[in-house]
């Protein structure tokens, strides 16, 4: 780009200057980007260039400067792009800044920015990550009121949010909407469909989606892993193994994540000997086990009633550095909850509570079924706690019929 501007083999247009500005800020910093902006011919210091400059400022974390240029755009009568507001919302999505999103949306409305489906997707995904199904629906309703048409991504977010919340009837309805609105052979949508059909227990639909994915010129390793886990969810272990071995022969197995996928299938079924076999193959191939590996093994041991070994694997996993994104991911939380249920069946309140703290920190405890798993530990352990109901309500969960029944049983152990 710099060569084009310097040698001028042809006259640069607004796109060339916009790209040059973007790359200059990324490589040389915001100050050189601003200098370049002043040197761009006046005719190209237009809406596109200003929007790129604001986005560059936001990407560099220079908030005040970005807001200053947005003010300048208003004065010049330039419209601010929805991409700017998307970045503002993402920047303010951190726990301590979430309240600022309302201000971003108000600013967007005041600037008369054209509503875009991607903005609502960000809002929906933020609520889904907080396990707030009502919040997801509220953002979706806001999108419809704004006259923005939903697409396959919209329904993917809605279906996954309800599937994670175990509201399977609603999840199935939104899955049908995905099928209705899907455009072309979008591998990311097909990956989501495999996950959803696995959760809904629809083996034929998993197979159908997988066959479409296999027809692509290039099949990603991630798609193989999702298909393996989906077949495992519907109980077809033989098919799960076939897909995994096909990936091994076609693409090779060189990463811990690939071994973890098959291990998770075995551990959910309590097939600990098979899981250990995969673990040995993984370490033999030079792949280092991570916290996810140990969490799967902990579940496998717990399912096989090897509780001491389960606790040992949990502790080994805790000694490995784990990112916040992993600890708040749905697979991690669901595996942890499954282990809690195993401890609960044995009346082990202490270890159930320890793992429940992880679920609470990720706000996974907003679902009644998560608290119900904990309540079972108190019932099986014949332990009384007068604060269980209060904890549930304050944790953001709505008690269901099972919750009230379990709490009544806990009352029987009142000293």
375 three-class SS: helix
Averaged pLDDT, 116-120: 95
Least confident of 155-164, 215-224, 297-306, 328-337: 215-224
Over residues 390-404, the mean pLDDT reads 96
Structure confidence by residue, pLDDT tens digits, 320-336: 999 999 999 999 999 99
Element (H, E) at 193: helix 187-199
- What is the structure's pLDDT at 96? 82
What is the average per-residue pLDDT within 367-375? Answer: 98
User: What is the predicted pLDDT for the residue at 293?
Assistant: 98
**Distance separating alpha carbons of residues 71 and 57, to the nearest angstrom:** 14
pLDDT the model gives residue 253: 92
CB 146 within 8 A of CB 115: yes
Exposed/middle/buried for residue 357 (C-beta within 10 Å: 0-12, 13-18, 19+): exposed
* Per-residue confidence (pLDDT) for residue 178, from 0 to 100: 97
**What confidence tier does 1 reach under pLDDT thresholds 50, 70, 90?**
low
In whole angstroms, give the CA distance from residue 216 to residue 218: 5
pLDDT the model gives residue 7: 63
Integer Cα distance of 246 and 210 in angstroms: 13
**4 pLDDT higher than 80:** no
- CA nearest to 128, candidates 308, 389, 333: 333
Averaged over 217-231, what is the pLDDT? 95
What's the pLDDT at 297?
A: 98
Give the predicted TM-score (pTM) of the model.
0.91
- Mind listing the pLDDT tens digit for each residue in 84-117? 999 999 998 988 888 899 999 998 888 888 889 9
pLDDT band for position 5 (50/70/90)? low
Burial (0-12, 13-18, 19+ Cβ within 10 Å), 295: buried
Average pLDDT of span 246-266: 95
Q: What pLDDT sits at residue 22?
A: 87
pLDDT: is 413 or 415 the higher one? 413
Mean model confidence pLDDT for the chain: 93
Residue pLDDT, tens place only, 137-156: 999 999 999 999 999 999 99
Q: Cα(281)–Cα(148) distance, rounded to whole angstroms?
A: 50
Pick from 149, 140, 225: nearest CA to 191:
225
Q: Around 215, how many Cα atoms within 13 Å sit in the side-chain half-sphere?
A: 10
Residue 2 has pLDDT above 70, yes or no: no
Query: How confident is the model at residue 10, as a pLDDT?
Result: 63
pLDDT value for 251: 87
Q: Which of 412, 340, 404 is nearest to 370 (CA)?
A: 340
Q: Say whether pLDDT at 14 is over 90.
A: no
Determine the pLDDT at residue 8.
66
- Residue 292's nearest CA partner among 268, 313, 272, 269 is 313
DSSP state of 251: T
pLDDT at position 363: 95
pLDDT in tens, 227-245: 999 999 999 999 999 999 9
- pLDDT bin (cut points 50, 70, 90) of residue 162 is very high
pLDDT (average), residues 348-367: 97
Distance of CA 153 to the CA centre of its chain: 13
One DSSP character per residue, 122-149 reads: HHHHHHHHTT-HHHHHHHHHHHHHTTPP
The predicted pLDDT at position 357 comes to 97
């Amino acid at each position: 780009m710099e060569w084009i501007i310097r040698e001028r083999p042809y006259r640069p247009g607004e796109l060339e200057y916009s790209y040059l500005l973007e790359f200059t800020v990324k490589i040389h910093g915001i100050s050189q980007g601003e200098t370049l902006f002043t040197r761009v011919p006046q005719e190209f210091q237009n809406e596109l260039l200003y929007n790129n400059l604001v986005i560059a400022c936001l990407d560099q974390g220079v908030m005040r400067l970005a807001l200053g240029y947005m003010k300048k755009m208003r004065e010049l009568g330039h419209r601010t792009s929805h991409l700017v507001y998307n970045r503002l919302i993402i920047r303010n999505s951190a726990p301590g800044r979430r309240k600022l999103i309302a201000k971003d949306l108000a600013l967007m409305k005041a600037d008369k920015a054209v509503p875009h489906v991607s903005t609502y997707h960000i809002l929906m995904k933020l609520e889904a990550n907080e396990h707030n199904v009502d919040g997801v629906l509220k953002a979706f309703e806001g999108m419809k009121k704004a006259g923005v048409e939903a697409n396959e991504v919209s329904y993917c977010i809605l279906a996954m949010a309800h599937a994670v919340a175990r509201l399977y009837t609603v999840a199935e309805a939104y899955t049908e909407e995905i099928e209705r609105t899907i455009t072309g052979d979008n591998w990311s949508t097909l990956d989501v469909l495999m996950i959803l059909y696995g959760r809904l227990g629809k083996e034929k639909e998993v197979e159908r989606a997988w066959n479409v994915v296999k027809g692509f010129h290039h099949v990603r390793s991630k798609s193989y892993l999702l298909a393996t886990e989906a077949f495992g969810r519907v109980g077809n272990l033989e098919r799960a193994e076939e897909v995994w071995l096909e990936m091994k022969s076609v693409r090779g197995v060189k990463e811990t994540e690939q071994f973890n996928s098959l291990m998770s299938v075995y551990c959910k079924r309590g097939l600990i000997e098979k899981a250990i076999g995969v673990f040995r193959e993984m370490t033999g191939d030079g792949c280092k086990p991570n916290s996810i590996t140990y969490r799967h093994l902990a579940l496998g041991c717990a399912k096989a009633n090897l509780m001491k070994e389960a606790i040992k694997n949990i502790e080994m996993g805790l000694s490995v550095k784990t990112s916040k994104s992993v600890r708040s991911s749905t697979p991690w939380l669901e595996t942890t909850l499954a282990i809690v249920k195993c401890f609960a069946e044995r009346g082990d309140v202490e270890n159930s509570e320890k793992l429940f703290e992880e679920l609470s920190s990720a706000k996974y405890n907003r679902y009644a079924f998560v608290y119900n798993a904990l309540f079972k530990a108190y019932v099986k352990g014949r332990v009384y706690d007068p604060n269980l109901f209060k904890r549930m309500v304050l944790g953001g969960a709505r008690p269901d019929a099972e919750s009230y029944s379990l709490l009544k049983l806990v009352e029987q152990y009142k000293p």
